[in-house]
């Protein structure tokens, strides 16, 4: 039986309300978008939602104990738990520069895990 799902497009401030009619995993119709980006967003949200990962990793020899990090592109939402397990294993050494690649091809994807900020070495 078809089911309607409502999304708010987050691709621009207009925030269009998009109605997607699904039957199981099949998209029957998409309404309410104002541009192709919105349509693509709705399709992706229904079939394979993606998110940018933002979290922290442990850092040695810095004034703070953790370093903010992020993926430099979206990864599948369903892999977030696996991503967090990997993140918990990571320890980096100060100094670190903003946007420095900490793990390339994170989880075997085309996305890298990068530092969200610089962090200097702790003064002795
Ligand atoms: S559908 Fe297009 S116009 Fe509407 S919020 Fe999304 S990106 Fe903006």
Residues with CB under 6 A from ligand 1: 9, 11-12, 14-16, 33-35, 37-38
Instruction: Tell whether the model's pLDDT for residue 124 goes beyond 90.
Output: no
- Calculate how far, in angstroms, residue 81's C-alpha sits from the geometric centre of ligand 1: 29
Predicted local confidence at residue 112, as pLDDT: 98
What secondary structure does DSSP assign to 24-64, as a single string?
A: TTEEEEEES-SSHHHHHHHHHHHHS-EE--EEEEEEESSSS
| pTM over cut 0.75 | yes
Task: Report the distance separating Cα 113 and Cα 74, nearest Å.
Answer: 11
């Amino acid at each position: 039986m078809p089911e309607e799902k409502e999304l708010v497009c987050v691709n621009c401030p207009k925030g269009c309300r998009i109605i997607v009619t699904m039957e199981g995993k099949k998209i029957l119709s998409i309404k309410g978008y104002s541009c192709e980006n919105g349509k693509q967003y709705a399709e992706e949200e229904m079939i394979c939602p993606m998110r940018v990962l933002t979290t922290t990793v442990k850092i040695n020899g810095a004034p703070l104990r953790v370093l903010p990090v992020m993926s430099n592109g979206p990864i599948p939402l369903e892999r977030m738990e696996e991503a967090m397990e990997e993140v918990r294993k990571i320890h980096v050494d100060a100094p670190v520069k903003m946007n420095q690649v900490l793990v390339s091809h994170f989880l075997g994807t085309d996305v890298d895990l990068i530092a969200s900020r610089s962090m200097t070495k702790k003064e002795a």
